[in-house]
Each structure stands twice: as structure tokens, then as C-alpha cells.
A and B are shown apart, each in its own frame.
Chain A
Amino acid sequence: MIPPAFEYLRPNTIPEAITLLRQHGEDAKILSGGQSLIPMMKLRLARPSYLIDINRISGLSYIKEEGGFLKIGGLTREAELEASPLIHSKYPILIDTAHVIADPQVRNLATVAGNLAHGDPANDHPATMLALGARVVATGSGGERVIPIEDFFLSLFSTALQPDEILTEIRVPVPTARSGGAYFKLERKVGDFATAAVAVQVTLDGNGVVQKVGIGLTNVGPTPIKAKKAEDFLRSKKLSEASNRQAAQLAADEAQPSSDLRGPAEYKKGLIQELAKRALSRAAERAGK
């Protein structure tokens, strides 16, 4: 399959890229990993007249802790996340997530930022970033602005990014002591989108009582879903099998799956319930309950 013709532009700096975005507006698309965009172009689901390849912009690929945040650069690849000792030691939920995205070759190119900016509710990092309470940095002609992740996903394939903005950084609050998270996904085969998946991040106090909790759901609605009722229920409660079960039920109630080739809606709700239970107990384990 040959993608439709386009003009290829390769800026060397972020300001150059933004100028090009301003010039070409809705006719242009940013090309970073390209692992969702190129397949969509082949299928004519996307037909940008201009592709702005940001891969040669230097200084956009990093993983570091700074000022209370884990900062992930706009061009950081999934494979780099998987290989990072910092991520392995402090952010196992991100390892869980990166491990189940597509396959090794795709992860060598695919970027974490692209996984969010694409606005696909079937992608995996959105739920994880909702659980982690992340923020994203959008850089445009007006400078930088920081968007809380819960305000980022507007509708199917649509995000809060303006046409002249690039997602240049992801910021995850550095977890305090007794924090832990996990991502559980069911996929039919390696590389498939989730039939359903659940991300959980918790912070407990010395008695195992929930101080902070975030729960994100993948591919069970038009956008990634933050399971607010389940979160509210768990806050200030001691984690137990009974509370996990009730929270998982609430999360399943919040899911809005549709029936498709991956299964009927009821089955997916059941899956969310089971995966939420597992993710909650793994997160608690990792928090050192």
C-alpha cells in the first residue's frame, strides 16, 4: 500500500517546526515515530499534504527527574523507556505499559508523546498517564503551556493540542514513599490493541490507607477514561480484597465499551472489573502494603 503523496519537511528546531505548522495548519501533520500515522496514511484514514518530520530536532529525547517531576522528552521512544534503569526502579507501571505496546520493532520508533498526542483511546499510555496524574507540555507560537492529562483527551482522535502546537514533554509527579502502580492489559496477540486494560497508581500511608489513587481505562470508550468514582471510593480507605472488589465494580460501571471483533460490551466490562482487581492488588504490593 502506497501512502498518498505529501511534501516532506524536516525542521531542525522546535521554532522552525512551529513556523511550518502555522504555515500549513490543518494540512500538516507531525511525523515522529510514525507507527500510527503511516499505517493510517496507507489506509487513507489520514491524508496530510505536508509531513513535518521532527526526528532530527536535537534535545527532545530524554528521561530525567527534575523539580519534582519525571520528565519524558517529546521524542523519547518506547524502547528507551523500557531500557531506562530509572524507569525500572521507580516507575514499574511505565515498564508494564511499554512492554505491551505493539512489538519490539515498533517500540524502537514509536514515541511516548506520540502515543498520547494521537488521541486514540486504544493506545496504552493515556490510561497510565491518567493514573499517574501526568501533565503534558504543549509548545506552540504562544510559547509553552502545561495541560493536565485529564483535560487532554477531548474525543476520538482529538486532543487539547492546537494546530500549531507540538507535545514536547510529559511530566509525571515523582511518586512519594509507599507509592506503586501497575498496568494490566488483555490483548489477543502481540501487537494488538487492548481488548481492555486498566492502569492503577496508589500512594498509601503507614497503615495502608489510600492517600492518592489514579485509575485509567484503555479502549472502553470514545476517549481514555479516568475512573473517578472508583478513585473517590478508594480515597481514605484501607486497601483490602473487599475494597478492591467494590472499586473494580465501580470502574467497570464507568467503562463505556462497544461490542466489536474483540468481544461484546458486557464481556469487556467484566474484563475491566477483573483487570482492575489485579492492577489494584499489584499496585498495593508494589507500594509495599
Chain B
Amino acid sequence: MAKKQLVGAKVNGREREAAVESRLLLVHFIRESLQLTGTHIGCDTSHCGACTVVLNGKTVKSCTMFAVQADGAEILTVEGLASESGQLHALQEGFKQEHGLQCGFCTPGMLMSSYALLHNNPNPSEEEIRRGISGNLCRCTGYQNIVSAVQYAAAKMAKAEIEANAAQGVAK
């Protein structure tokens, strides 16, 4: 039995910890050690992006990183997108409204790549969206509805921000 080491990470805002073998991939740590099965294993060869998570603010393919490397990191997975009360994130709502999924297998990865994209660029052009999700494969939609879903979310998030700023102005 190989030696195990303790890996701790803040996952979706909660401190989590598990003893793992050094060769355990991050995606297996997330799915099996932490039982967060929203993150999918697709190709397992770094091509498809189904396993994408946000690690310290940047998207990574969790099938191409060891769990031990993530020790001390902050990780966001698809389970961390909706609010505690279950209200969907604007992106999740966008994928639903715009039919941004059919079989849904690529969706968690698509959501995480789109999340990081909008975080860095709240008003992306269509080309920037397509580039932003270029590390994620979808075999159903032909991508058009995914692009529409991200545009829906960008518009909704921009509107929410304007309203929040207005409300703040009134409060002042």
C-alpha cells in the first residue's frame, strides 16, 4: 500500500481534507474522496474539458493534475455555482433558457469555463466566448446554444450589477 498524504483544500467555500495516494488525480479526489460527482470524467486525456474546475481563480482540467498539487488551494466546482438556497447562477439559468445542453455531459465543464471567462471579461464578444470554451468539447449542441447561454448570463449579470449600483445610490 502506497504511502498516503493529507490534502486539504477549500472546496466551494468549505474546508475539506482527505488522505490520498500521491498518484490520485484531482478529479478522483473531487468525485470520490469528496463525493462531489458534478465534475465529470470525459476523455481522461486532457482533451474534452468535462472535468474543468476553477482552481485559485483559474480553470484547470482536473484529470491532468494530481490532488497533492492542489493542497491548500481554493476550488470551485459546479456544485458551488448555485446559491445555498438553491437559486441557480445566471449561467445555469442561461443554459436552461437557451437550451445550452442536450445530454448534459459536458455541461459542468462548460459552466466552469464560462464562469471563469465572465469573471475576467464580463462582456465578451461571440468570438471571445468561442475562444473561452475552446477547451471544452460538446458533441450535441453544435455550440451555438452554449454561446447564446453565455450571452444570456452576461446580459443578466450586467443588469443585476446596474440594479445593485442603483440601489446603492438610492441607499446613499
What is the interface of chain A, defined by CB distance below 8 A to chain B? Answer: 1-8, 10, 31, 34-35, 38-39, 42, 51, 53, 55, 79, 102-106, 108-109, 190-191
Contact = CB atoms under 8 A, between A and B. Distances in A.
Given A5-B22, A8-B66, A191-B135, 11 more contacts: A4-B23, A5-B21, A31-B69, A39-B45, A39-B46, A51-B66, A104-B131, A106-B46, A109-B60, A190-B134, A190-B135
- Size band of the B side of the interface? 20 to 34
B25 A2 contact: yes
B77 interface: no
Contacts of B132: 104
B23 A5 contact: yes
A134 B64 CA distance: 29
B135 A8 contact: no
B64 to A, nearest CB: 5
A8 B20 CA distance: 11
Contacts of B21: 5
A8 B4 CA distance: 10
Contacts of A51: 22, 66
22 contacts: A1-B44, A5-B21, A5-B22, A6-B23, A7-B3, A8-B66, A31-B69, A38-B66, A42-B45, A51-B66, A53-B68, A103-B134, A104-B59, A105-B49, A105-B135, A106-B64, A108-B59, A109-B60, A109-B64, A190-B135, A191-B134, A191-B135
A55 B69 contact: yes
B64 A38 contact: yes
Interface in B19-52: 21-23, 25, 44-47, 49, 52
Nearest to B21: A5
A35 to B, nearest CB: 6
B58 interface: yes
B43 to A, nearest CB: 10
B92 to A, nearest CB: 20
Contacts of A5: 2, 21-23
A109 B65 contact: yes
B22 A38 contact: no
A103 B5 contact: no
Contacts of B52: 105
Contact of A34 (B44, B49, B59, B65): B65
A69 B165 CA distance: 46
A31 B23 CA distance: 13
A53 B69 contact: yes
The 6 closest A-B pairs by CB, nearest first: A103-B135, A8-B22, A108-B58, A105-B135, A190-B134, A105-B59
B151 interface: no
Contact of A106 (B5, B25, B44, B61): B61
Given A6-B23, A8-B5, A104 B134 contact: yes
B64 A39 contact: yes
A8 B68 CA distance: 8
A55 B56 CA distance: 14
Contacts of A31: 69
Contacts of A55: 69
A35 B59 CA distance: 13
A190 to B, nearest CB: 5
A103 B131 CA distance: 9
A102 to B, nearest CB: 7
Contacts of A10: 68
A212 to B, nearest CB: 33
A190 B5 CA distance: 36
A109 B58 CA distance: 9
A70 B52 CA distance: 33
Contact of B58 (A8, A34, A79): A79
